[in-house]
Amino acid sequence: MTYSIDLTPRESARVNAAARRAGIAPGDLIKRLALEHLSKTSTVFEDRLDAKLCEWQTQDQVKLMPDLSAEALYSRWSDEDTKMSLDDRHDEDRLWHEIEQSLSSTEGRASLRRLG
């Protein structure tokens, strides 16, 4: 996706100078800065999910993923997904479909926890 931003001549000069110092194109610098900022800000959903995972780990007295935020986990999964072949994706989709069906049929009996 492409975004367009309006910069004053002074702002543009600052971006160009910073990009030259970093040895990258101005657009790449802006992208890097935006993504760095976004990685530092978490969404309400991610905060709730992290809190729920910590609560379950405390209840179970098990540290499943120490010091790994939901954001970092999603990022890792996203990176792994980009390396998958089309056949791998179909296999993965089939597997998750089978898991969802199995969970739906055994949810009550297994006393599974709900995120919502």
Q: Which residues of 90-103 are buried (b: 16+ CB within 10 A; e: fewer)?
A: eeeeeeeeeeeeee
Residues 52-109 have pLDDT tens digits of 888 888 887 776 655 677 777 788 888 888 888 999 989 989 998 888 887 777 665 6
Containing domain of residue 61, as a range? 44-107
Q: pTM surpassing 0.85?
A: no
The closest of 49, 84, 82 to 68, measured between CA atoms, is 49
30 and 48 part of one domain: no
Q: How far apart are the first and last CA of the chain?
A: 31
90 and 52 part of one domain: yes
96 and 58 part of one domain: yes
